[in-house]
Amino acid sequence: MILTVTLNTALDITYQVPRLRAHTTHRVTEVTERPGGKGLNVARVLAALGHRTVVTGFAGGVTGTVLRERLAELGGGVTDALVPIAGTTRRTVGVVDADSGDSTQLNEPGPIVTTPERSAFLRAYAELLREASAVALCGSLPPGVPVGTYARLIRDARAAGVPTLLDTSGEPLRRGIAARPDIVKPNADELAGLTGSTEPLRAARDAQRRGARAVAASLGADGMLAVTSEGTWRAAPPRRLAGNPTGAGDSAVAGLLSGLVDGAPWPDRLARAVALSAAAVRVPAAGEFDRATYEELLGRIEVTEGPAA
């Protein structure tokens, strides 16, 4: 099974409005609630691809209860191994403009996590590693969780012989990358923040020197760049797709993990990640993708090999 870790889970609430305008009242035409947080979004995409997935992290309060109920409604494919906490799980609110397809995102801060709650999670994580074929460590850290937590989780997974993918930002990324994760998946801004370079290839190579065994950098509509010990590749969709980019990065992570556990070569992993990312733009909420778009694009993704790292 594939394990995804979301320490700062969320109940994702999406409002659809005909057109979003500042300083006005809006009539909402549709409301949806989904279990959210980057790792939960990744897990839902993986489950749709046919992978058995377990989600862990923290959930608490009334919002956490609703999140777990929504997770249970998804049926098979995603197993709930979230650790209960006393604090209340945050909400994220996305407002989708039906006219343009653009989304405006509002993210609440997470709950405070206590020392005993962190210890309970670490025990649960150690148990889950025994059956995991890969681990994704995703998203922000809630208050009370040390900034070096991802680095510890990477080291624990490596000791258990389980490959890791890290998708976070800021200081957790900086600390985590030094623990030598198998794959780091930053976007262009996160990569620039880590390395100080805005040139993607140079920044990805710098990130690899800092400890990442492979760097798969999202480049937005321009696709993805991978710098690995096996080579360097770029992948791009055949055309730009209009829609909601929220969750596109999470779908890319799912594609990378799917390729990893299937033993696919890096060009195929990139093609899968870029096709899923593009297909996610075609749906209004994170954690989903348009299957027809994915299947249509998968064989049309252009993957080019670059100079050796």
Give the Å distances, CA to CA, from 18 to 25, 30, 203, 246, 295: 12, 10, 40, 18, 29
Q: Which tokens belong to 73?
A: 């409604």
CB-based contact 244:233 (threshold 8 Å) = no
Cross-strand partners of 224 = 218, 235
For 184, how many CA atoms within 13 A lie in the half-sphere containing its CB? 37
Exactly one of 12, 182, 250, 268 is catalytic; which is it? Answer: 250
Q: Rounded CA gap, 176 and 153, in Å?
A: 9
80 classed as catalytic: no
**Cross-sheet strand order for the sheet of 103-107:** 30-36, 10-17, 90-97, 103-107
Residues with catalytic function: 250
